[in-house]
Structure 1
């Protein structure tokens, strides 16, 4: 594998981890989104990563999935969106699970960025050897 190959593979990892971070941040931003019981709750987003086969090595986002729109019913009779029984619908997003996902995606992004930095430094060192 060449230095450029390492940069290319790491850049695919950066893209996947960035999209994972986007999905998690969207989930966290909507953890308290309230809807009426006649509507679906906010649906969590999940990123599906897959290995890139063939000549272009790395990973890619194979797709995204959405969670259930069922959510959870909460009794809040004073809420403007409450139904006749006093219930509103919140998304079924677990904050601790999302924070764990956020940390994992962030660490993966940082690791891929470090690979790009190391490959760049190696390439620059090789150019310096040629100048001597």
Structure 2
């Protein structure tokens, strides 16, 4: 049972780590500019799926819109002929909320691994003392 808990929590750790990676990538590119006639940075979103009794897994990633938001900045080196620059349409507060959820999920599953390991070690100790 403890080994099952470690395996299942391990799959969740992987999903939460990938989620954290995508949020960090989104936040680090929130001010990435592109020419007005180009594509904006596309935010990455992790798609997780239940794997039955085997835990969860990353089913893939979904990309946000390449349309972004057009900002008139004629002095920007990437400005197009009309003076527009394209920025990603990433909501920082939404990303920060996702960051907190992913971080807490990672911490909770790491705690499950620790508790399961302690339980497994206690069971081994009982077997040695008998």
Residue-by-residue CA offset, 1:24-81 (whole Å, 9 max, x unaligned) = 111001000000012100001111111113xx51000111100100000111111011
Distance 2:60 2:80 in 1: 35
**Number of aligned residue pairs:** 129
How far does residue 85 in structure 1 lie from its aligned partner after superposition? 2.1
Q: Which runs of 5+ in 1 are unaligned?
A: none
Mapping of 1:55-74 within 5 angstroms? Answer: 57-74=54-71
Distance 2:84 2:48 in 1: 37
Q: What residue in structure 1 maps to residue 36 of structure 2? A: 37
How far does residue 11 in structure 1 lie from its aligned partner after superposition? 0.3
Partner SS state of residue 69, structure 1: coil
How far does residue 17 in structure 1 lie from its aligned partner after superposition? 0.5
Runs of 4 or more consecutive aligned structure 1 residues displaced over 2 Å after TM superposition = none
Q: Which moved more, 1:56-65 or 1:96-105?
A: 56-65
Q: What residue in structure 2 maps to residue 109 of structure 1? A: 106
Q: What residue in structure 2 maps to residue 100 of structure 1? A: 97
Distance 2:5 2:81 in 1: 60
Q: Does 1:28 align with 2:23?
A: no
How far does residue 128 in structure 1 lie from its aligned partner after superposition? 1.7
Residue-by-residue CA offset, 1:81-118 (whole Å, 9 max, x unaligned) = 11222110000001110010000000000000000000
Q: What is the alpha-carbon root mean square deviation over aligned residues?
A: 1.0
TM-score, with normalisation over the residues of structure 1?
0.94
Residue of 75, 80, 85 corresponding to 1:78: 75
TM-score, with normalisation over the residues of structure 2?
0.95
Partner SS state of residue 16, structure 1: helix
